[in-house]
Structure 1
C-alpha cells in the first residue's frame, strides 16, 4: 500500500475496500453463498415482475406493492454485490470517492423505501382482512401511485444529507475502509473532523423513521391477528395465520439485521469486525432472496401463474 493511502492527504479520489479483514484467505468461499443468494434474488424478483406484468388479473394494489418491493430489493442487492464479488474474485478493491458516496446513498435510500413498502403492504393486508368491504375504494390505483411516490420522496429527502455531509468533510488519515461496501458510518469514521452531526442524524433517522414504521406494522398485524382469531373455521384461521407469520418473519429478517448493524457501528466496539461485516450483508442479501418466496410463491395467484408457465414450456 502506498503512503498516500495512510499518511497526509486531503479528500482522496478513491477509497480502498478491504473486504472482510482477517478472512482474506476465505474470500472465495465467502463469495459462493453471497453469489448464490444474489442469483436467487435476481431470478425471483424478475419472475415476480414478469408474472404481474403479464397477468391482468394481478393488476391489484397488493401486487403493485409486491412489484415495488421487488424493484427495491433488486436495487439494494445490486448496489453492493457486483463490487463485493470483484473484491472477492479479482482483488479489485478501489472505488472512486463519488461512487462510494453514491453507494451509501442508494443503500440507505432504498432501505428507507423498503421499510415504507412493508408499512404499505401491512396496511393493505389490514384493510383486506379487517375491513374487506372498503378495500376496493380505499386501496385504489391512485392511492398506490401516491404511496409509491411518497416513499421515494421520503427516502431521497431523508438520506440525501448522508453523502452531502460526508463529501464536505476532509479525509486526511486514511482512505482504507474495512468493509466490503461503502457503509455510511464506515466512511464517516475516516474523516478527520467532528462527525457528531452525522452520527446523531443517522440515529434520528433510524429511530424516527424505521422505529415509526415498525410501530405501524406492529399495530396493523395486531389488528390482523385479532381478526384472524375471530374467523369461524379452524382451517381458515390456520391458513391466514400461517401467511401472516411468514410475512412477519420476512419483515423481521429485514429490520433486525439493519437496526443491529446501525447500532454496532456506534456502540459495538467489542464486536469482531468480521462478524459485523458479514452480518451487515444479511439485510442486503437475505430479504431480496426470501421476499419473492414468501410474498410471491406463497401467493396462490402467482404460484398458479408460475406453474402454468412451466407447464407451457414442457408442452
Structure 2
C-alpha cells in the first residue's frame, strides 16, 4: 500500500507538472519568450541593430534576437522550460516615478542658475524586437529608461536657448541696438523661454530617446512635459519681470507707431507744399514761354505791343494815373495805383 500511494502521488505530480502546468496561453496584448534551463531560445545568429546607436554603444548593447511567441494558445512547454510574458501595450508613467524614493517634482537647474520643477508624463511600450534587453539585459529596464530620460532632460534645460531670439541675431533680420532689444525681449529669462517652447522641448526629448529601444528594450512613444514651475519667490519675481517686459514692449510698439505716423504726415506735408509751389510757378513759366515766343517771332516791337495790350485791363481798374515825361515818348512810363 505505501508503494502504491507513492506511485500514485508520483503520477499525479508528473501529470500536474508535465501536462497541466505545461500548457499556457498568451493574451493579445502580450508577447512571450521561452527559456530552456535559463537560456532564451534565439533566432540563429541574428542580433538587434539600431541606427541611433554609435559604434561604441553598438558594441555595448549587443543583444541577440529571440524567438517571440505571439498571442494564442494553448502552447506546450517542458518542465525545464520557463515562460516570460511581457505586456507590449502603450503605457504612461509620471516623470516623478522612482522606485527608490518619493518625490513630487523633478528638479532641474536652468542656464541662469535658477532651480525649477518639471512635471509631466511619458508614454512608452516594450520593444517587441528587443525583448532580450527588456527581460534579461537589466534588472529594472523602466528605472533605467526614466534615469536616462531625466538626465537628458536636465542637460537640455541647463543649456536651453530660445531659438526665436537666437535666429534674430543669426539671420540678421534686425541689426544693431534693435537686435539686442529684440533678443532681450524674446530670450530674457530661461524659465520663460522653456515655458514658451514646451513643444520644442518635447520633440527634442523624443528625438534623443529613440535609442532606448536598443538600450533597454523600451521605446518612448511621446514625451509630455506639461509644467515648468519655479519656486514661489522666483515665480513672483518672474511675474514682475514679465509685466515690465510687456510694458516695455508695448511702449516700444507705441513709439514706433507714433514715429511712423509722424513720418507719413511729414511726407504728405512735403508733397502738398511741392504741389502748391508747382502750381504757383506753372503760370509764370507759361507766361515766360509765351513772351519768349512773341519776341522770337515779332521782335521787340511785338513784345512791347503785347505788354501794352495786357496793361489795358489794369488801366481800367486804376484810380489814379501818373504820367512822367521823358526825352523820348517811347520811354514814357505810366504808373497806376
Q: TM-score, normalised by structure 2?
A: 0.24
Greater strand share, structure number: 2
Higher relative contact order (CA 8 A, sep 6+): 1
Q: Which of 1 and 2 has greater Rg?
A: 2
Q: TM-score, normalised by structure 1?
A: 0.25
Greater helix share, structure number: 1
